[in-house]
Amino acid sequence: MSAMRIGVLALQGAFREHIQALVRLGADAVEVRRPRDLDGLDGLIIPGGESTTIRLLMAEYGLDDAIRERIGSGFPVVGTCAGMIVLAKHVDDEASPGLNGLDVQVHRNAFGRQVDSFEEDIAIPALGDTLFHGVFIRAPIVESVGPGVEVLAKLPDGRIVAVRQGSVIGVSFHPELTDDDRFHRLFLSLIAARETTASTTPVCSSPTAVGEVR
């Protein structure tokens, strides 16, 4: 079986660390800078960085429409920190010009400036019982979620820092800046499960039956 081919948006931000984590897990990590780089990928990671810069560069290179179209067809995507902001439908009480991949309201720089960055061990049940060491750098929080969004993690004070909607995951922290690969393993396992389901779904000749397949 060939290695999973995972793209990492490499326009700006901490993309190299994500690539290193994926390589450690045996995935084929690909830097994504143009729409053609998305061809043949099993999933995509949008890293932390500066969300406004990332959005502008995606628009300039035509990546925003290409990624948005793939998200609409169920393409697996993870956004970390700024990546989650880019995926959110609403940012700081306004409709976002980003990818509209997560029906959430996000507040940027929720903890203050760079000097207010911090680390916190957080419970993420999807990763098991052991706490995950979260690195928060000028991090956003999720203030509210839509009906189709699952909350994956909260800080001890109740603020939401990780969500999932279908094949799209957003987190406030930087899992790539730790030696704990469980978050990247989770993403790869979700992709594997999705591909297994797709390969075993029967083809139905009845129009009504086809409409019922999800």
Residue type, 177: L
Q: Are 58 and 85 within 8 A, CB to CB? A: no
Binned at pLDDT 50, 70 and 90, residue 206 comes out as: very low
Q: What percent of the chain has pLDDT over 90?
A: 81
Is 90 tagged catalytic?
no
Q: Are 109 and 138 within 8 A, CB to CB? A: yes
> Using CA atoms, how far apart are residues 214 and 209, in angstroms rounded to an integer?
10
Q: Are 8 and 45 within 8 A, CB to CB? A: yes
**Catalytic residue selected from 18, 90, 107, 176:** 176
Q: Are 180 and 132 within 8 A, CB to CB? A: yes
Tens digits of per-residue pLDDT, 149-158?
A: 999 999 999 9
Q: What percent of the chain has pLDDT over 70?
A: 91
**Catalytic residue selected from 18, 90, 174, 184:** 174
**Catalytic residue selected from 81, 90, 107, 184:** 81
**Which range marks the domain in which residue 15 is found?**
5-212
Mean of all residue pLDDT scores within the chain: 90
Number of domains making up the chain: 1
Is 174 tagged catalytic?
yes
Q: At 99, list the tokens.
A: 């990818």
Helix axes 15-24, 182-200, angle to 10 degrees: 70
Q: At 205, list the tokens.
A: 């000749």
Closest CA to 67 of 28, 98, 103: 98
> Looking only at Cα atoms, what is the longest distance across the chain?
60
CATH number for position 20: 3.40.50.880
Tens digits of per-residue pLDDT, 48-98?
A: 999 999 999 999 999 999 999 999 999 999 999 999 999 999 999 899 888
Is 18 tagged catalytic?
no
